[in-house]
């Protein structure tokens, strides 16, 4: 039996309950017979919903003692004081005997994986989903949050430096790894829905024109300029999928603009359903100041939807170019002009969508990303076996 241990700091229930599950996400290519999901918290996710994410493997869910309570006792997660906590992780790995470990994010979970590797020789990889310098420390508000983000830098570095491979999910994470001195890394894009993402073939506009925007609704991803742009375009209906601290604000903006009847708000939708519906829209439009290539943008690109997205303040996202999306300023007028161009130029609209589809399939198709993880995992497992022989 070949086992995989996955150590996760997040509350998996938060996205599983929303239907944000991807087949075999935790077991690419059905490579493992057992998947041991280890949560560094007290979360108890719905196991039935999780089963799709481990494919044909047998699923086990474990909870390590919640390490957040260790912050004060260990003087801000000082590595030399975390030994009693990491021993729980080492003991669990000794019992499970995984062929390898995968971590999601670089927090106490990667520090635990580093301790396991040091004690038991089990290799581990880390998928990194944000640039912590940019999106954590760079955006921390208030003394407590800033103190925590500074304190965790030591365990971040230890967990990443000692990893057999770090897998940033987009290129803007690389400068953070370079700063830390991490050399064993390779960009590995997120594996997305392999079943319900399908190609858009018909580019004839609906009446009214259907625009969709998907994403968390908070300050850095506030799409109110998009709503105001739609208010100036009577032939457009906007669907907004997502929730967050700005949700009420966005509803109020739609009402104030007099288009509450032309803006549909959907706080949450199962990923299968969202992917199935995407090709039925005419345009995808969004706003983000994050230095990222989010899954909510990759999904419409993979279907061939024409995508409108803002040029962020700061360094551009290298993956998002004029060849595959229409880049705008974060102003009402810029969004309005972009929508008008796509609505008024049938040839350009279809060309942009088809170019996006071809590019996305080459770089981010579910089959290609899953296969890449399989190759990496096999290499690690076989390398360990060869070293032990």
Per-residue confidence (pLDDT) for residue 248, from 0 to 100: 97
Please, what's the b/e burial string for 224-260 (b: 16 or more CB within 10 A of its CB; e: otherwise)? bbbbbbbbebeebbbbbbbbbebbeebbebbeebebe
The per-residue pLDDT for range 175-215, each reduced to its tens digit, is 999 999 999 999 999 999 999 999 999 999 999 999 999 99
pLDDT at 68: 67
pTM summary value: 0.93
Long-range CB contact pairs, 378-381, < 8 A, 24+: 378/31, 380/100, 380/123, 380/125, 380/164, 380/165, 381/2, 381/99, 381/100
* Residue given tokens 């040091």 in the structure block: 118
pLDDT at position 341 over 80 = yes
**Tens digits of per-residue pLDDT, 224-257?**
999 999 999 999 999 999 999 999 999 999 999 9
For residue 72, pLDDT over 60 is answered with yes
pLDDT over 90, % of the chain: 83
Give CA–CA dist 142/132, Å, rounded.
17
Backbone angles phi, psi at 16, to 5 degrees: -65, -40
* Domains of the chain with bracketed CATH: 3-188 (3.40.50.2000), 209-364 (3.40.50.2000)
- In sequence order, which residues have a C-beta less than 8 Å from that of residue 293 and are 6 or more positions away? 169, 170, 171, 172, 189, 317, 319, 320
Collapsing DSSP to helix, strand or coil, 1 comes out as coil
Least confident of 29-33, 100-104, 382-386: 382-386
pLDDT band at 137 (very low <50, low <70, confident <90, very high): confident
pLDDT at 19: 85
């Amino acid at each position: 039996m070949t086992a995989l241990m996955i150590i996760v700091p997040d509350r998996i229930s938060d996205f599983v309950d929303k239907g944000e599950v991807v087949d075999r996400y935790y077991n690419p290519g059905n490579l493992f017979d057992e998947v041991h999901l280890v949560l560094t918290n007290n979360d108890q996710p719905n196991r039935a919903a999780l089963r799709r994410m481990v494919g044909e493997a047998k699923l086990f869910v474990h909870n390590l003692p919640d390490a957040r309570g260790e912050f004060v006792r260990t003087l801000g997660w000082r590595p030399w004081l975390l030994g009693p906590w990491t021993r729980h992780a080492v003991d669990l790995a000794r019992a499970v005997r995984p062929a390898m470990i995968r971590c999601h994010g670089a927090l106490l979970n990667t520090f635990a994986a580093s301790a396991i590797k040091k004690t038991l020789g089990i290799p581990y990889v880390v998928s990194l989903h944000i640039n912590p310098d940019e999106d954590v420390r760079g955006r921390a508000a208030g003394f407590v949050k800033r103190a925590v983000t500074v304190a965790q830098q030591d365990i971040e570095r230890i967990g990443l430096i000692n990893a057999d491979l770090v897998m940033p999910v987009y290129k803007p994470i690389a400068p953070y790894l370079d700063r830390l001195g991490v050399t064993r890394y390779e960009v590995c894009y997120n594996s997305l829905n392999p079943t319900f993402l399908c190609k858009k073939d018909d580019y004839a506009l609906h009446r009214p024109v259907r625009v969709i925007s998907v994403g968390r609704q908070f300050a850095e991803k506030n799409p109110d300029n998009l709503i105001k742009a739609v208010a100036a375009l009577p032939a457009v209906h906007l669907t907004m999928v997502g929730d967050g601290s700005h949700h009420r604000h966005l509803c109020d903006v739609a009402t104030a603009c007099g288009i509450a009847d032309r803006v549909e708000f959907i706080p949450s939708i199962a990923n299968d359903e969202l992917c199935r519906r995407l090709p039925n829209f005419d345009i995808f439009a969004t706003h983000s100041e994050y230095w990222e290539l989010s899954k909510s943008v990759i999904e419409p690109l993979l279907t061939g939807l024409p995508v409108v997205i803002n040029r962020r303040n700061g360094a551009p996202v290298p993956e998002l170019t004029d060849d595959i999306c229409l880049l705008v300023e974060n102003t009402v007028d810029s969004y309005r002009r972009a929508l008008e161009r796509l609505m008024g130029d049938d040839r350009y609209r279809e060309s942009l969508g088809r170019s996006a589809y071809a590019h996305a399939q080459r770089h981010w198709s579910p089959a290609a990303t899953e296969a890449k993880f399989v190759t990496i995992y096999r290499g690690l497992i076989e390398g360990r076996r060869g070293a032990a022989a």
